[in-house]
Amino acid sequence: MKDNFSLIIHGGAGSLDHLKREGNGPEIMDSVRRILEGGRHVLETGGTALDAVEYCAAELEDDPLYNAGRGSVLNEYGEVEMDAAIMDGATLNAGAIAGVTTIKNPIQLARQVLERSEHVMLIGKGAQDFAKVCGIRRMPDDYFFVDRRVRQWREAQKAGGMMLDHEDATPPKKLGTIGAVARDMDGNLAAATATGGIVNMRWGRVGDSPIIGAGVFADNETCAVSATGYGEQFQRTVLCKMISNFVYFQQKDAAAAAMAGIKYLVEKVNGLGGVIVIDRYGSCAVDHSTSGIIYGLIDKAGPGICKFTK
């Protein structure tokens, strides 16, 4: 018998004060709702969890409001360099790419790594070559140069530091990146995360988003998790796998595991960020150490709920 499906998407965590200031809160909520309902359609028409998270992540990448794909932040050289990963909870197969340029939808390239390569992660030039082999769509550089990103990059360069998307030039408040987790009607879990990284990042820096276990994880026996926040803190705590371990070893549900994960992140490294989690029974949870997180969720085929904080 077919079961209910569940889906959560996120568009980054932080104080989100600037959204109120710039007045684009309603715009983001409309976008989250539209993409969430698109994901519902994938799942209710029999699509797999993997299809649903790829679909949602690609839609989020296409919307310049988020720090992924088209709206990616700029690195130290004023360029866009993107990372993405996707994981199938049924098989623990995963695909990840890091440091790619001109790829319209990095999440689709990550899916190709999962499906067509015998590897888990491809980076830089090799990943670009693989994209050619797979016929992945490319875009010219100016497709990715959104005015807001150029302004944000200039501020960061002036301040001489790196910062997260959504963040003010002053202390870190708000983080970007996108992600999706899903459980399909056959009970399979999947997770996807994609990002442009952090503003003004240097030296080929790669964050947590494409690192399996740090910024993304899915296992049908436990849960599916996608993270957003300071990548270094999620890498050092291997946070998404940590949350899966709370389910595996302590039989926690999604809410308890997400809460324990964020507590661990804060206690261990004073970490700033958020997670979305669906457990093997389809229960949904969102948790964060920032004051806000942009998300939309459908719990067991229920109504779509879109919010700025848990």
Question: Using only C-alpha atoms, what is the Rg of the chain?
Answer: 17
| Minimum gap (Å) between residue 173 Cβ and ligand ASP | 12
End-to-end CA distance of the chain: 32
Element (H, E) at 225: strand 223-229
**201/254 with CB nearer ligand ASP:** 201
Q: Per the structure block, which two tokens stand in for 116?
A: 């067509």
**207/282 with CB nearer ligand ASP:** 207
Answer for which of 51, 63, 81, 208 binds ligand ASP (CB under 6 A) is 208
Stretch that binds ligand ASP, among 16-24, 90-98, 228-236, 295-303 (CB under 6 A): 228-236
Answer for which of 11, 12, 64, 292 binds ligand ASP (CB under 6 A) is 12
Helix (H, G, I), strand (E, B) or coil at 229: strand
Looking only at residues 137 through 166 of this chain, which bind ligand ASP when binding is defined by CB under 6 A? 164-165
CA distances from 121 to 11, 113, 247, 296 (A): 23, 7, 26, 28
CA distances from 171 to 15, 164, 168, 268 (A): 11, 10, 7, 20
Give the DSSP letter string of 151-208. Answer: HHHHHHHHHTS-B-TT--SSS--B---EEEEEE-TTS-EEEEEEE--SBT--TT---S
**Residue 197 makes contact with ligand ASP by CB under 6 A:** yes
**Residue 106 makes contact with ligand ASP by CB under 6 A:** no
Identify whether the C-beta of residue 175 lies closer than 8 Å to the C-beta of residue 273.
yes
Q: Just list the catalytic residues.
A: 177
Stretch that binds ligand ASP, among 32-40, 107-115, 202-210, 280-288 (CB under 6 A): 202-210
- Per-residue x/- track, 267-296, ligand ASP (CB under 6 A): ------------------------------
Answer for which of 71, 106, 207, 296 binds ligand ASP (CB under 6 A) is 207
**Residue 75 makes contact with ligand ASP by CB under 6 A:** no
- Tell me which residues touch ligand ASP (CB under 6 A): 12, 67, 164-165, 175-177, 195, 197-198, 207-209, 215, 228-231
